Amino acid sequence: MDISNDCALDEYLISLLKQGNSLFAKAEDGTVAGLCVSFASSPVDPKNLRNYAFYRQDPNTKDFLYFTAKLQETPNLWDVFKQKKIFEIKMITVLPEFRRQGLAVFMAEKSKELARDQGYNVIRMDCINPYDYKIAERCMLQCLVKFPLHKVRGANAPFIKRSSEFNRCVRVYVEARSLPDVDRTTVRSRQQDLESLIE
């Protein structure tokens, strides 16, 4: 995916970083070893993303932004858990020379602590490959639902292919503090609706 002609994704990532919920890990020499982008999202965020995507010229950028908005709403955890904001662990990346040392799990755990310290009751992590699943499971997040990734992609998303062994489905992992006003029947029915998307 060539994004050199459009700075929309840079602007989107900068807006997430500006929220101040992202973490980075430094090596002993001061170089960055890994990054964990997290942010608190509200129901208005996917709407804003769609509005932003509408004005993009590049079809790949436009489709990526629409895809991100649709993914955020699938499932709509603000509705399910009756929360105004959901803390999302959006992206974890570790440089190759620092991998297999537990750094990704450490950053995810620190992000969870950050979320709890700020009073967020629901933490979300979307996983599209086995490496992500392992991180989420080691952090004791529970898989709420899984569904085919191509169901939320648009027509111009060559970066999401049906045939790829690493991005066939999305697993939405969640940690939710006990919330007395959450209707467990609604959570289960939403889960069944989403699982019906699986081929």
**Using an 8 Å Cβ cutoff, are 144 and 136 in contact?**
no
pLDDT above 50: residue 55 = yes
Percent of the chain exceeding pLDDT 70 equals 78
The tokens describing 75, both together, are 């499932």
Domains of the chain: 8-195 (3.40.630.30)
Give the angle subtended at the CA of 44 by the CAs of 42 and 50, to the nearest 5°. Answer: 125
**Residue 48: its H or E element:** helix 44-54
Give the angle subtended at the CA of 190 by the CAs of 187 and 196, to the nearest 5°. Answer: 140
**Using an 8 Å Cβ cutoff, are 50 and 29 in contact?**
no
Residues 6+ apart with CB under 8 A from 69: 45, 46, 47, 49, 50, 53
pLDDT above 70: residue 2 = no
The predicted-structure confidence for 140-184, as pLDDT tens digits, reads as follows 999 999 888 777 766 655 555 555 666 678 899 999 986 655 555
C-alpha distances in Å from residue 34, one per residue of 89, 102, 131, 193: 14, 11, 15, 36
Question: Which whole number is the average pLDDT over 49-57?
Answer: 87
Strands (E), the chain: 23-26, 32-41, 86-94, 122-127, 142-148, 169-176
C-alpha distances in Å from residue 90, one per residue of 22, 86, 197: 9, 11, 23
Percent of the chain exceeding pLDDT 90 equals 42
The tokens describing 1, both together, are 């995916």
Residue 72 CA to residue 92 CA, distance in Å, equals: 17
pLDDT above 50: residue 39 = yes
Give pLDDT, residue 17.
Answer: 86
